[in-house]
């Protein structure tokens, strides 16, 4: 009999303690470090400590819940598992099953990052690519489990999963018992449910704040309606929290133990990824960076506090990293795109390029456009992509070109 059947569907602190006792193999689940970030702290006038869970085996907290679930199920006689995942849960289930001597099949959406597909296979799982999003992959995986009589491992709607993720809350309290605010990303809600349950028991005065991406936010509406709300489509760079829905289990735990939920934009997440690269020297995925984005946002006041954003995953696809960097650098003005109206005659490109060079900027690309409706005969546009040191430098370059008599349009700001 499952240890949860006697106490009802919700997870108790004792369940989290039992999960921690099961973590008997440090090659599956390890204690991850906490590091102070002076630069982030100065930015928000707080003591900021980063919970470096992206350094967990498989690069994500998901291993905790998966191992707790699978270890218990194997002890009860199960030997084969199936799961649906956008990536991190997949790797956690694959590693946990292999370490427990069991087989695993992971169903991933067809657009899942290749790095996560390859990593999941490397941990010993069979991977099937099905559906355009997490919900389609989930439906297929559940049908597969029923048809083949194998154990289904849900990414978040399972007390064993939530209890396993909750062990992170115990570590947070042990490493920083005086923490005022802990910020946790929310996808399906398994991580924040477990962490908040643990902290509510160990340190009820600690504020637990959840953060969702705007394009995948469901918690506010779910809390308002009292039932889990599922989105038909999600749109965010933070694929690790792009589940598009929570469950009755996680909704109830969030309602009971989480103090506040905020949302952040993809632009804020991209900037947080870049900031963590520059200042903390850490590579994290969008879901993890969302917690830092929330701390930096106007929605959350942590001034004078000790605050801990949870960096839940570090499996950032390199193609996505490139996209994020370009977006963030453009937002900062470090990549500047200008359209300059010129008389289409020799020497114009050279003159403008000289102005840009005189101000210490580098031209990445330049394009000559003549077939544009608003141009008169004998005119053209030069479209420059320029590297700058930031917004102030970019503004200086625009002013300098305009001072030479040209009409300049900042394409970034259209």
DSSP 293-311: HHHHSTT---TTSEEEEB-
The values of phi and psi at residue 386, to 5°, are: -130, 140
Answer yes or no: are the C-beta atoms of 204 and 16 closer than 8 Å: no
Specify the DSSP class assigned to residue 379.
E
**pLDDT of the residue at 9:** 53
First to last CA, the chain: 61
On the question of pLDDT at 5 being above 60, the answer is no
> Tokens 């449910």 map to which residue?
193
Distance between CA atoms of residues 56 and 95, nearest Å: 12
SS3 277: helix
Paired tokens of 324:
């994020």
The values of phi and psi at residue 45, to 5°, are: 55, 50
Answer yes or no: are the C-beta atoms of 167 and 64 closer than 8 Å: yes
- Band of the pLDDT at 365, cuts 50, 70, 90? very high
Write the CATH number of the domain with boundaries 13-60+159-327: 3.40.50.1100
Query: Which residues are within 8 A (CB) of 314 and not within 5 positions of it... i.e. 6 or more apart?
Result: 54, 55, 59, 60, 282, 283, 284, 285, 288
Distance between CA atoms of residues 284 and 197, nearest Å: 25
**pLDDT of the residue at 6:** 46
Select from 55, 61, 53 the least CA-distant residue to 88.
Answer: 61
Over range 193-220, report the average pLDDT.
Answer: 97
Question: Under CATH, what is the fold of the domain 333-413?
Answer: Alpha-Beta Plaits (3.30.70)
Query: Which residues are paired to 380 by β-bridges?
Result: 342
The share of the chain scoring above pLDDT 90, in percent, equals 81
Lowest-confidence segment of 73-82, 85-94, 307-316 by average pLDDT:
85-94
The domains spanning 62-152 and 333-413 adopt the same CATH topology: no
In terms of Cβ atoms closer than 10 Å to its own Cβ (0-12, 13-18, 19+), residue 350 is exposed
pLDDT digits 0-9 by tens, 89-129: 999 999 999 999 999 999 998 988 787 889 999 999 999 99
pLDDT digits 0-9 by tens, 232-268: 888 998 888 888 899 999 999 999 999 999 999 999 9
For the chain, the structural domain boundaries read: 13-60+159-327, 62-152, 333-413
On the question of pLDDT at 142 being above 60, the answer is yes
On the question of pLDDT at 1 being above 60, the answer is no
- What CATH architecture applies to the domain 62-152? 3-Layer(aba) Sandwich (3.40)
Distance between CA atoms of residues 310 and 187, nearest Å: 13
Paired tokens of 382:
């030069």
The share of the chain scoring above pLDDT 70, in percent, equals 98
Going through 12-159 in order, the beta strands assigned E by DSSP cover: 34-36, 47-51, 80-84, 103-108, 126-129, 151-152
Distance between CA atoms of residues 11 and 7, nearest Å: 9
- Band of the pLDDT at 2, cuts 50, 70, 90? very low
**pLDDT of the residue at 414:** 61
């Amino acid at each position: 009999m499952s240890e949860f059947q006697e106490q009802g569907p919700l997870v108790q602190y004792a369940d989290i303690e039992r999960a921690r006792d099961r973590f008997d193999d440090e090659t599956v689940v390890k204690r991850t470090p906490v590091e102070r970030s002076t630069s982030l702290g100065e930015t928000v006038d707080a003591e900021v400590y980063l919970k470096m869970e992206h350094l967990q085996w498989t690069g994500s907290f998901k291993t905790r819940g998966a191992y707790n679930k699978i270890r218990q199920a194997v002890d009860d006689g199960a030997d084969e598992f199936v799961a649906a995942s956008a990536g991190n849960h997949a790797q956690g289930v694959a590693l946990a099953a292999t370490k427990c001597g069991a087989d695993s099949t992971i169903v991933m959406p067809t657009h899942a990052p290749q790095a996560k597909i390859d990593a999941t296979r490397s941990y010993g799982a069979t991977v099937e690519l099905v559906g355009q999003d997490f919900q389609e992959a989930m439906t297929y995986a559940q049908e597969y489990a029923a048809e083949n009589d194998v154990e289904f491992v849900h990414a978040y709607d399972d007390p064993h999963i939530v209890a396993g993720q909750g062990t992170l809350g115990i570590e947070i309290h042990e490493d920083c018992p005086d923490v005022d605010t802990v910020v946790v990303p929310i996808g399906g809600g398994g991580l924040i449910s477990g962490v908040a349950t643990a902290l509510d028991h160990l340190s009820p005065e600690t504020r637990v704040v959840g953060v969702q991406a705007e394009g995948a936010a469901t918690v506010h509406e779910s809390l308002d309606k009292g039932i889990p709300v599922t989105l038909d489509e999600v749109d965010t760079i933070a694929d690790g929290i792009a589940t598009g829905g929570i469950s009755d289990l996680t909704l109830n735990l969030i309602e009971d133990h989480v103090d506040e939920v905020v949302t952040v934009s993809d632009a804020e997440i991209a900037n947080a990824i870049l900031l963590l690269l520059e200042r903390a020297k850490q590579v994290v995925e969008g879901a993890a960076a969302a917690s830092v984005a929330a701390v930096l946002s106007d929605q959350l006041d942590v001034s004078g506090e000790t605050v801990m954003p949870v960096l839940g995953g570090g499996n950032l696809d390199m193609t996505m990293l490139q996209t994020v960097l370009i977006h963030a650098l453009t937002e900062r003005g470090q990549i500047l795109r200008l359209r300059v109206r010129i008389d289409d005659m020799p020497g114009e490109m050279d003159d403008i390029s000289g102005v840009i060079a005189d101000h210490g900027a580098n031209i990445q690309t330049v394009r000559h456009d003549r077939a544009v409706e608003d141009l008169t005969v004998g005119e053209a546009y030069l479209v420059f992509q320029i590297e700058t040191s930031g917004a102030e430098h970019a503004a200086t370059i625009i002013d300098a070109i305009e001072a030479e008599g040209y009409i300049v349009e900042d394409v970034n700001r259209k």
